[in-house]
Amino acid sequence: MPEGHFSQDGRRRLLLVALGRQRVGKTALLNTIVQYFRAAGSEIEVWNADQQNRTHSLSTFFPDASLPPDGGLADTRGWIEGKLKEQAEHGYHAVLDAGGGFTGFSALVEDVPVIEALGARGTDVIGLFCVGPEQADLDYLDSFSKEQLFVPDATMIVMNAGLVLSGRSSGAAFAPIAQNAAFKAAVARGAKVAMFPALTCMAEVTDRGLTFEEAAAGKVKPGQHPMSMFDPTRVREWWTKKVPDFFDTFPPAWLPTARAASAVTAEEGGR
Amino acid sequence: MTDTKRVRLVRKKKIRSFGGRGQIYSWLRTHHAAIEPLKAIHLNLWAALAADMVEDGVTEAADGRGLRDRIWKSWQRVCRDVASEAAAARPKRVPPSRISPDWRPTVVPPRPAVPTQQPASSSGAIVPTGRTSLVDPNDSPLVQAEMAKLEGMFHEADKRRLPR
A8-42 pLDDT per residue, tens: 345 578 999 999 888 899 999 999 999 999 888 88
Min CA distance, B18 vs chain A (Å)?
A: 24
With bands split at pLDDT 50, 70 and 90, how would you rate the model's confidence at A79? very high
- Give the separation between CA B97 and CA B116, rounded to whole angstroms: 40
Mean pLDDT, residues A65-70 taken together: 89
Q: What angle do CA A266, A269, B4 make, to 5 degrees?
A: 60
Q: What is the dihedral of CA A137, A138, A144, A145, to 10 degrees?
A: 170
Using DSSP's 3-state secondary structure scheme, residue A130 falls into strand
pTM as predicted = 0.68
The whole-number pLDDT of residue A260 equals 39
- Give the separation between CA A76 and CA A68, rounded to whole angstroms: 6
* Residue scoring higher pLDDT (A12 or A129): A129
The whole-number pLDDT of residue A257 equals 65
Answer whether A168 touches B (CB < 8 Å).
Answer: no
Best to test chain B binding among A179, A230, A249 (most B CBs inside 10 Å): A179
DSSP characters over A202-246: HHHHHTTT--HHHHHTT---TTPPPPPTTHHHHHHHIIIIIHHHH
Contact A268 B6 (CB under 8 A): yes
Q: Is the pLDDT score of B159 beyond 80?
A: no
With bands split at pLDDT 50, 70 and 90, how would you rate the model's confidence at A2? very low
- Give the separation between CA A45 and CA A87, rounded to whole angstroms: 9
Query: Phi and psi for B53 in degrees, rounded to 5?
Result: -60, -45
pLDDT one-digit tens code per residue, B21-76: 899 999 999 999 888 777 655 556 777 888 889 999 998 888 877 787 788 788 87
- Give the separation between CA A129 and CA A126, rounded to whole angstroms: 10
Those of residues 49-68 in B touching chain A at CB distance below 8 A are 50-51, 54, 64-68
- Chain A's closest residue to B37, CA to CA, is A241
Q: Walk across the sheet containing A93-97 and list its strands.
A: A44-48, A93-97, A13-19, A123-131, A154-160, A192-196
The whole-number pLDDT of residue A269 equals 42
Burial state string for B113-132 with b = 16 or more CB within 10 A and e = fewer than 16? eeeeeeeeeeebbbeeeeee
What number of CA atoms fall less than 13 Å from residue B81's CA on the CB side? 14
8 Å CB contact between B48 and B3: no
Min CA distance, A69 vs chain B (Å)?
A: 35
- Give the separation between CA A135 and CA B136, rounded to whole angstroms: 20
Answer whether A10 touches B (CB < 8 Å).
Answer: no
Q: What angle do CA B154, B125, A151 make, to 5 degrees?
A: 75
Q: Is the pLDDT score of B128 beyond 60?
A: no
Largest CA distance in chain A: 54
Min CA distance, A194 vs chain B (Å)?
A: 8
Min CA distance, B110 vs chain A (Å)?
A: 25
Q: Is the pLDDT score of A192 beyond 80?
A: yes
Contact B6 A264 (CB under 8 A): no
The whole-number pLDDT of residue B99 equals 67
The whole-number pLDDT of residue A83 equals 93
Those of residues 65-94 in B touching chain A at CB distance below 8 A are 65-69, 72
Q: A with B: how many residue pairs have Cβ under 8 Å apart?
A: 148
Those of residues 112-131 in B touching chain A at CB distance below 8 A are 119, 121-129
Min CA distance, A231 vs chain B (Å)?
A: 16
Q: What's chain A's average pLDDT? A: 85
Answer whether B133 touches A (CB < 8 Å).
Answer: no
At how many degrees (to 10) do helices B45-55 and B23-30 cross?
A: 110
The whole-number pLDDT of residue A10 equals 52
Contact B47 A6 (CB under 8 A): yes
Mean pLDDT, residues A98-112 taken together: 80
